[in-house]
Amino acid sequence: MHQNIGNQRENWNSLLLNSVNMITLTAVTMAGLAEASGPNGLGLKVSSALLFAAGTGILLIMNKIQPSQLVEEQRNAVRLFKRLQNNIQTTLSIRSPTQEDVEEAMERVLALDRAYPLPLLGAMLDKYPESLEPAIWWPSKKQSTSSLKHNSSKGNDEQNGWTRELEDDIREIVGVTKNKDVEDYVRLGNKALKLSKMLAVSGPLLSGVAAVGAACLGHGGPWGGIVAGVAGSMAVAVNTIEHGGQVGMVFEMYRNCAGFFKLLEETVESTLEEGDLQKRENGEVFELKMALHLGRSLSELREFASKSRRNGGSVDEFASKLF
């Protein structure tokens, strides 16, 4: 369903953009012909004004829903649902599922549904928030209140692969992702958001000014035709930059990248807060998964943690090498 809706909304973006631009350019052409026709151009004048008004209305709706951003939302939903499906299939292949497994899967499905809703009315995500907030597509984790105990005399098997050094390395890496990777995506996302807001206001405003100019054709000299032509042409350019350049999709991409690191941070925190080492995921496996998430080998991950610790958390590179 999410894939079908995503394909539909991708078609919306291209069809609506082409339609609005053609309507606006047609209105500009009619305004020019009406100006050249003099008193005989009343029909062209009215048609031009109506087309500009119709284009403005369609553009307002288009800017409100941001089809390119809707596509990116559903694209991410499809990817995350496929990952959830693979996790469920893996669980079924290695053991019989428990009631806890079923409840956890349902919580994840509901969290994904809240993060990437299908309906537009009443459930659509705000396309113009005050600032970028990382996407949250996972259920909140229950915090453990048990105390953490390490016993250096125990073997690695009894410690479930966890050591104090490993925990310190993981905390150090998460600190870098929070201070560098997340901040960078939030900064870039806020820039994309500001650009999106500016273009969303400029396009309908220019189209509306062009409609007023078309309505004033024949009154006060040639200025009505000039205003209609210039404003209409600029509106087409703005619309093409906003929706052809898919600024909304870029903002959503940054939001999801920030959400990826937010999930990594919460996963690490919830794991390290679990006091019973046997209830944690195996430490060596956890370290390997973290290295894969960040696009690093185990040796690179450990070296990066050591470098960050030596420099007091200030490093000249990002924790992730993937994006």
Tens-place pLDDT, residues 249-286: 999 999 999 999 999 999 999 888 888 888 888 889 99
pLDDT tens column, 66-94? 999 999 999 999 999 999 999 899 889 98
Mean pLDDT, residues 218-233 = 83
Is the predicted pLDDT of residue 14 greater than 50, yes or no? yes
- The span from the first CA to the last CA of the chain, in angstroms, equals 28
pLDDT band with cut points at 50, 70 and 90 for residue 146: very low
Residues 96-114: what's their mean pLDDT?
90
At residue 61, does pLDDT exceed 70?
yes
Core vs surface per residue 17-34: b (16+ CB within 10 A) or e:
beebbebbbbbbebbbeb
Query: Measured between alpha carbons, how far is 314 from 279 in angstroms, rounded to an integer?
Result: 33
Alpha carbon distance 75, 13 (integer Å): 14
- The percentage of the chain sitting over the pLDDT mark of 70, rounded to a whole number, equals 94
Model pLDDT, residue 251: 94
CA distances from 190 to 132, 248, 272, 320 (A): 6, 11, 32, 20
What b/e readout covers 43-52, taking b as 16+ CB neighbours within 10 angstroms? Answer: ebbebbbbbb
pLDDT of residue 158: 57
The CA-atom distances, in angstroms, between 59 and each of 3, 29, 74, 245, 274 are: 25, 19, 22, 15, 51
Q: Are 30 and 213 in contact (CB under 8 A)?
A: no
Torsion on CA atoms 42, 48, 53, 56, rounded to nearest 10:
-170
Q: Is the pTM of this model over 0.75?
A: yes
Q: Which of 70, 90, 66, 67 is nearest to 78 (CA)?
A: 70
Instruction: Using the predicted structure, report yes or no on whether residue 1 has a pLDDT greater than 60.
Output: yes
Q: What is the pLDDT of the chain when averaged over all its residues?
A: 87
CA distance 214 to 191: 34
- Rounded-to-integer distance, Cα 120 and Cα 317, Å: 40
Q: How far is 213 from 220, CA to CA, in rounded Å?
A: 11
Q: How far apart are CA 19 and CA 273, in angstroms?
A: 55
Band of residue 36 on the pLDDT scale cut at 50, 70, 90 = confident
Q: How confident is the model at residue 157 (pLDDT cuts 50, 70, 90)?
A: low
Q: For residue 35, what are the contacts with CB-CB under 8 A and spacing of at least 6? A: 41, 217, 218, 222, 224, 225
